[in-house]
Amino acid sequence: MNLFLDTKLARGYKNQSQKIRVMTEHWVNKQIFCPSCGNLNIDKYDNNKPVADFFCANCGEDYELKSKKETVGIKIVDGAYRTMLERLTSGHNPNFFLLNYNIHNYHVLDFFVIPKHFFVPGIIEKRKPLAESAQRAGWVGCNILLHSIPQTGKIFFVKNKVLEPKNKVLTEWKKTLFLREEKEINAKGWLLVVMACIEKLGSKKFSLDDIYAFEDELSLKYPENHYAKDKIRQQLQILRDKNYLKFLGRGQYQIV
C-alpha cells in the first residue's frame, strides 16, 4: 500500500480543502479494501451524493470520508446537527473513514473506519449556531466526539504509519456486528457506554465490582434510569451472549 497522497492530482485547484478532498478520495479509491467483505475495490459515488462518498458494490456498505491534517484529535467536524440526528434515528447513516496526514509531505499517518453501528446521539455534539453576519446565519453544525467511541469501534488500516494486516481488519469488523441487531437507540447507547467503561479498566480480565465503580458516571449519563447496577449486569449478559465477553465465574469476565 502506497501511503503517500498523489499531489499531482491537486494541480489546477486553488482552494486547499478542494486539493485535499481530491487527493484523499483518490487515495481511498485506489488503496483501501472494504472492511466488511474484503472486496479489493470500493467505488466512489458521484460528488452530488448527499450522504456517502464511497460504496462497496459487493456487499452494499456505504462510507463517508473525513480527513484531518497531522492528528485526528478528539472530535471531527461534520455537517448539520439536525440532519445527522435524523440519519442516526433512521438507520441510514454510512460508516466513517477517517484519515489524517502530514501536511508537509502528504504522508498518510493514520487511516481507520468507524462502523455505523457505533453512531448514537451521545457521540454527536451540537455546535453553536452561525452568527447573524454569516452567509448561513443560524445554521447549526455538529461534531463527532471520537473520544466517546470505544476503541473497538476504531478499526485501523494504518496506525502511526504502520499497516495493519487485512485479516485483522476483517476480524475486528465482524466482532461488533451484533450491535446492528439492536435497533433501539437508547439500548444501543447503554451497550456502547458499558463497552467504553470496560476499556477504561485497561485489562482484558475484570470483575463485576470493577464495572460497578462506574455506577455514578452512568447514573449521570442516564438520569432517568435509577437502577444502574441492574442495567450494567444486563449489558454484560448481552455482551457475553454475543461472544464479546467470556464469563469466567464468580463475577469475573474476560474480553474475547
pLDDT score at 51 = 76
pLDDT score at 223 = 87
pLDDT score at 92 = 79
Please tell me the CATH code under which domain 182-256 is placed.
Answer: 1.10.10.10
Which of the following CATH numbers is that of domain 1-174: 3.40.50.10860, 1.20.1090.10, 3.40.50.1860, 3.40.210.30?
3.40.210.30
Report residue 123 as a C-alpha cell. 457521540
Helix (H, G, I), strand (E, B) or coil at 67: strand
Q: Do domains 1-174 and 182-256 have the same CATH topology?
A: no
Q: What is the mean pLDDT of each successive set of 10 residues along the chain, which is 256 residues long? A: 95 90 96 97 83 93 93 89 88 91 96 96 94 92 94 96 97 96 90 95 96 93 89 96 96 95
For the chain, the domains span: 1-174, 182-256
pLDDT score at 210 = 97
Residue ranges of E strands in the chain: 43-44, 54-55, 62-69, 75-80, 95-101, 108-114, 124-126, 141-145, 155-159, 162-163, 205-207, 245-249, 252-255
Record the pTM: 0.91
Residue 16: name the closest of 106, 88, 98 by CA. Answer: 106
pLDDT score at 14 = 86
Helix (H, G, I), strand (E, B) or coil at 136: coil
| Whole-number Å distance between alpha carbons of 198 and 254 | 10
pLDDT score at 50 = 66
pLDDT score at 113 = 98
pLDDT score at 153 = 96
